[in-house]
Amino acid sequence: MHGQRLKNGWIIDGMAKEGIMPETNFVFRKMAEKDILDVASLEKRLFSRPWSEQSLSQALRQSTLFVTALEKNIVVGYCGMYCGFGEGEITNVAVDPIWQNQGVGRKMLEYLLEQAYCQGIRRVMLEVRVSNWNAIHLYESMGFRSCGIRKQLYDLPTEDGMVMEFRYGG
CB-CB contact of 164 with 139 (8 Å) = yes
Is 71 a residue of the active site? no
User: Which candidate in 43, 110, 114, 127 is catalytic?
Assistant: 127
The yes-or-no answer on residue 139 being catalytic is yes
The greatest distance separating any two alpha carbons of the chain, rounded to the nearest whole angstrom, comes to 47
Catalytic residue among 78, 111, 139, 154: 139
Cα(80)–Cα(56) distance, integer angstroms: 10
Q: How far is CA 153 from CA 127, 129, 130, 169, in A?
A: 9, 8, 10, 29
**Residues marked as catalytic:** 127, 139
